[in-house]
Amino acid sequence: MRIDCHNHCSEVSGRWPSVDDVVAGMERVGIDKTCCSHPVTTADPTPEEVRQANDDILRCMQRFPDAILGQCFVNPGYVRHAQDEITRCVVDGGMSGVKLYNQYRIDEPVQFPIIERCIELGVPVLMHAGHPTTDDSIPNQPRLSSGEHFVRTARRYPEAKLICAHIGGGGDWEWQLKALREVPSVFLDTSGSVIDQGMVERCVRDLGVQRLLFGTDMNLARSVGKLLAARITERQRERIFGLNFSELLQRQHA
């Protein structure tokens, strides 16, 4: 069973790939389910924009109920609306978790009500993340969540199911591993375009295989390929490809 914990889609191709293309890609590489969100990537998306984005995912879930698991995107700055969206999409709409982008860092107080609600519901929070190292890349995402930000929040909420997004998303992935070693409750997804030799093996060594979740973030060949190439055992590969995330989702219903 292969479950992609981090992907994006839309009913119609545009900022995000069409759900038809996503499902076709899944079939070609043998992915059984994929967890999709439709983040609005502007600095301060309005409640209406957020609602439309989540409606889009709900429609994709309806079209491909066996393949598409939804993630509810929220803008934590609109506190009331964010809570209402979680109710509408996760509690009533059957989405599997919450997706946060870079409007706020994971350790900012505005995130706390979201995290507390997800703890209450037992659902994971997938947080966009990275640790860019250079002056030309840092200003692009001033509120990007880095490993140390996850450490602060995970210490405050050790029961939260936080997922640090895309270890291969660009930036210093070794820094991310150093930080995440300190907080065993945080999961890490393996997606992203960076396919440095040894990356997956280092994740297994430093965090333990139980904390790793397969994700593609629209990088199908790279994300599947690096897991297939990694020098790990077949049992470890199986855990990362789907077993860990499957257990994480089951726990939310327990």
Partner 1 sequence: MGDEMIYDADMWIGHWPFQALPYCSATDLLRQMDVHGIEKGLVGSLHGLFYKDSHEANRELARELKHRRDRLVPCAALNPTYYGWQEDLKQCCEEFGMPVLRLVPDYHGYSLSDDVAAEITEAAHGLKMRVALVGRIVDPRGRHRLDPGREADGAVVAAFLRKFPSSSFLMLNFADPPERRRWDEPACCFDIVRFVGGGGRRLQTLIAKYGADRLLFGTTLLMRYAKPTALALDLCDLRKRERECILWRNLAALVPGIR
Residues that bind partner 1 in the complex, under the rule CB under 8 A: 17, 21-22, 24-25, 28-29, 130-134, 136-137, 170-174, 193-199, 201, 218-226, 228-230
Min separation Cβ 184 and partner 1, Å? 24
Helices (H), 74-146: 79-86, 112-121
Residue closer to partner 1 by CB (options 113, 170) is 170
d(CA 54, CA 136): 32
Q: How far is the CB of 4 from partner 1 (least distance, A)?
A: 11
For the CB of residue 174, give the shortest distance to partner 1 in the complex, in Å: 7
The pair of three-digit structure tokens given for residue 128, joined into one six-digit string: 């966009």
Nearer to partner 1, 117 or 149 (CB): 149
Minimum CB separation of residue 34 from partner 1 in Å reads 11
Please give the Cα distance from 29 to 222 (Å, whole number).
11
CA neighbor of 196 nearest in space, from 226, 220, 159, 218: 226
Nearer to partner 1, 25 or 124 (CB): 25
In the chain, the largest separation of any two C-alpha atoms, in whole Å, equals: 46
Contacting residues for 212 by C-beta, under 8 A, at least 6 apart: 187, 188, 189, 190, 200, 203, 204, 239, 240, 244
What is the rounded distance in angstroms from the CA atom of residue 212 to the CA atom of residue 219? Answer: 17
- Smaller CB distance to partner 1: residue 84 or 172? 172
d(CA 50, CA 75): 7
Q: Minimal distance in Å, beta carbon 88 to partner 1? A: 28
Nearer to partner 1, 17 or 124 (CB): 17
